[in-house]
Structure 1
Amino acid sequence: MHLIITDAWVAKSRALHLTGVQLVLAGLSLSAVLVLTSLGLYHWVFLEGARQGWPVVGPMVKLLLKSEIESQDAVMRDNLDAMAKRLGQMQARLVQLESLGERVAGLAGVPAADPKLRGAAGGALIAPRAMTAEELSHSLERFDAAALGQMDWLTVTESRLFEQKVRSSRLPTQHPVEGVDTGSGFGWRVDPITGQSALHSGLDFPADTGTPIVAAAGGVVVFAGWHAAYGHMVEVDHGNDLVTRYAHASQLHAKQGDLVRRGQKIANVGNTGRSTGAHLHFEVLVAGVPQDPQKFLDAGRLAAQPQEARAGPSTRVASGPRR
């Protein structure tokens, strides 16, 4: 493209040669300048019109701003309403958690805490209505305090339940020979060897030689060896003057000083010592005084009854001369 520029004062002409690319760039530059100029004028006119209150521009600007503000308010209101509904659901769950915590605490023997101390959030549920940001903030702070209070309260309950579990794990409620009916019970009977009346200080479990014998509760082995009357015998101390005795074993798997857990194999059924047949003689002693082991085993059965769907007693007394 050729452009000829003529100067009338000096009677001179000048020729410019523009290629296609240069022409396009010049057009784009001119367009950009026009757009920026238009935007600047538009912005200035609206700002000045809003400040000065021009008859046409002022109301137009206010209308646009009002529409934008209303749109933002609608979005914010929707968000606040959604948060209010979530808070209502949170409060309902917190009330359920509080009720569950009270029941668990009752099982653990923990007294119900003062609602002010554990941050209770009972009462009417938050309705799905319009709420201000300040109301939502206050509700969130209240729920946070309630959650912290519930956490502290449940921590105390957990500690108490753990203590109870430890205590129960030290009570001889586990059957020492699983799946075996009991023989001679605790109490006075005719001695199968002497034929005279004598106190049977334990509970017999007739079983084949080699049948596993397990600890009825956790504790420390205080004796594991030979006894003239009891044969191969194991004694486990469970603390608080509570000791269990496992006699007439064919083989011992625990030694003195061992720490054993409930259900751990400690020996095998045998016919050693003063015995007339293969069986386990099981005793429970409190401060050295023999107790009826069946009472402890029945307590364990009743405690496990819900999990076993009330399957009924797992032991039956069978006759048979055992010592």
Structure 2
Amino acid sequence: MHLIITDAWLAKSRAVYLSGTRLVLVGFVAALALMLVAAGMYHWVFLKGAREGWPLIGSLVKLVVKDEFEQRDRFMRENLDVMAKRLGEMQAKMMQLEALGERVSGLAGVNPNDIKTQPGRGGVLVTGRSLTMEELQATLADLDRLTDQRVDLMTVMESRLFDQKIKKMMVPTQQPVQTGILGSSFGWRIDPLNGRSALHTGLDFPAEPGTSILAAAGGVVVTQEYHAAYGNMVEVDHGNDLVTRYAHASRVLVKKGDLIRRGQKIAEVGTTGRSTGPHLHFEVLVQGVYQDPQKFLTAGQKLPQAPTVAIAQSPAAQPAQIPRPK
């Protein structure tokens, strides 16, 4: 395409040649410029009409806004329905947790009513109908309050159960020798060495030399020494004026001041001291007074009892014990 441009004032003319590609490019640029101008004019006119309340433009704005609000409301409603369903599931689980907490509280010796700071109420019933945001917020507030109460109750129960566990671990109910064979029991008997009646202040567990001696409960070693009557002896303090004594050991594996746990190996069976054969002599003292260890052991497990009359006269029968050494 040839274009001839003539300037009458300058008496000049100029020829412009446009190929097909250039013509398409010029047309595209012109169309784009026209679209931008039209969009700017539309935007200006639409905003001006919306602000000044022109009838036609005002109606169009209302339709657009109404449709936008409807979409937003539909979106919110769908989300509220999903939230209501999840909230109902949370309420059901919370009720199960509350029932479980009340059952466990009985084991811990805790009254759930003492933990509740305010009377409980059921909260919003989540049904198939659509809920409002206010109802959801109220239900969430109830669940938050109930959750705080459950946390407080569980914390108290954890503390009580932990205390009970600690107390149980500090009471000598663990069998000190795994053989389970009981020789002489606690009480009066005929001393096998001098033939006189004497008080046997503990339990005897006949066992092979080197058999493990286990701590009957957790505590602190307060005595580890050799005694003329007890031989190699270990005493463990469990608190509350409760002490266990392990005598006649061939080898001691702990020392004074050691912190030991329940069931820990602390020595090995032997026949040191005033003894007629390899065995463990086990004592329990409360405030320095001898107690029957069998009462403590049976509290944790059933310990088979051998006939004490026949065993008391056997070569492994044990001597009468002297008062606790200073």
Which bracket does the TM-score occupy, shorter chain normalised?
Answer: 0.7 to 0.9
Residues in 2 aligned to 1:129 and 1:273: alpha-carbon distance in whole angstroms? 84
Task: Give the equivalent residue in structure 1 for 2:305.
Answer: 317
Residues in 1 aligned to 2:276 and 2:60: alpha-carbon distance in whole angstroms? 112
Q: Secondary structure at the match of 1:146?
A: helix
Q: 193-202 or 80-89, which moves further after superposition?
A: 193-202
Task: Give the equivalent residue in structure 2 for 1:71.
Answer: 71
Change in Cα spacing, 1:239 to 1:49, as seen in structure 2 (3 Å) is closer
Residues in 2 aligned to 1:293 and 1:271: alpha-carbon distance in whole angstroms? 20
Residues in 2 aligned to 1:98 and 1:81: alpha-carbon distance in whole angstroms? 26
1:53-107 superposed Cα distances (whole Å, 9 cap, x missing partner): 23xx665554444333222211110100111111111122222222222223222
Please say if residues 4 and 13 of structure 1, whose CA atoms lie closer than 8 Å, have aligned partners that are also in contact.
Answer: yes
Please say if residues 119 and 147 of structure 1, whose CA atoms lie closer than 8 Å, have aligned partners that are also in contact.
Answer: no
Residues in 2 aligned to 1:199 and 1:140: alpha-carbon distance in whole angstroms? 69
Q: Secondary structure at the match of 2:27?
A: helix
Please say if residues 88 and 128 of structure 1, whose CA atoms lie closer than 8 Å, have aligned partners that are also in contact.
Answer: no
1:266-295 superposed Cα distances (whole Å, 9 cap, x missing partner): 111011222222111111111222212122
Task: Give the equivalent residue in structure 2 for 1:86.
Answer: 86
Q: 37-46 or 94-103, which moves further after superposition?
A: 37-46
Residues in 2 aligned to 1:152 and 1:21: alpha-carbon distance in whole angstroms? 81
Task: Give the equivalent residue in structure 2 for 1:27.
Answer: 27
Where do residues 118-133 of structure 1 align in structure 2 (5 Å cutoff)?
120=120, 122=122, 125-133=125-133
Q: TM-score, normalised by structure 1?
A: 0.83
Residues in 2 aligned to 1:7 and 1:107: alpha-carbon distance in whole angstroms? 110
Identity fraction in percent: 59
Q: What is the RMSD of the two structures over their aligned residues, measured on CA atoms? A: 2.9
Residues in 1 aligned to 2:116 and 2:210: alpha-carbon distance in whole angstroms? 61
Change in Cα spacing, 1:251 to 1:118, as seen in structure 2 (3 Å) is farther
1:146-202 superposed Cα distances (whole Å, 9 cap, x missing partner): 222322232222222222222222111111112432222222333333334333221
Change in Cα spacing, 1:174 to 1:89, as seen in structure 2 (3 Å) is same
Write the letter of the residue equivalent to 1:282.
F
* Displacement of 1:247: 1.0
Write the letter of the residue equivalent to 2:113.
A
Residues in 2 aligned to 1:141 and 1:211: alpha-carbon distance in whole angstroms? 62
Task: Give the equivalent residue in structure 2 for 1:53.
Answer: 55
Change in Cα spacing, 1:258 to 1:60, as seen in structure 2 (3 Å) is closer
Please say if residues 174 and 262 of structure 1, whose CA atoms lie closer than 8 Å, have aligned partners that are also in contact.
Answer: yes
Change in Cα spacing, 1:93 to 1:125, as seen in structure 2 (3 Å) is farther
* Displacement of 1:209: 0.4
Aligned residues: 309
Task: Give the equivalent residue in structure 2 for 1:106.
Answer: 106
Write the letter of the residue equivalent to 1:102.
E
Q: Which runs of 5+ in 1 are unaligned?
A: 302-312
Q: 151-160 or 22-31, which moves further after superposition?
A: 22-31
Residues in 1 aligned to 2:241 and 2:132: alpha-carbon distance in whole angstroms? 65
Change in Cα spacing, 1:170 to 1:116, as seen in structure 2 (3 Å) is closer
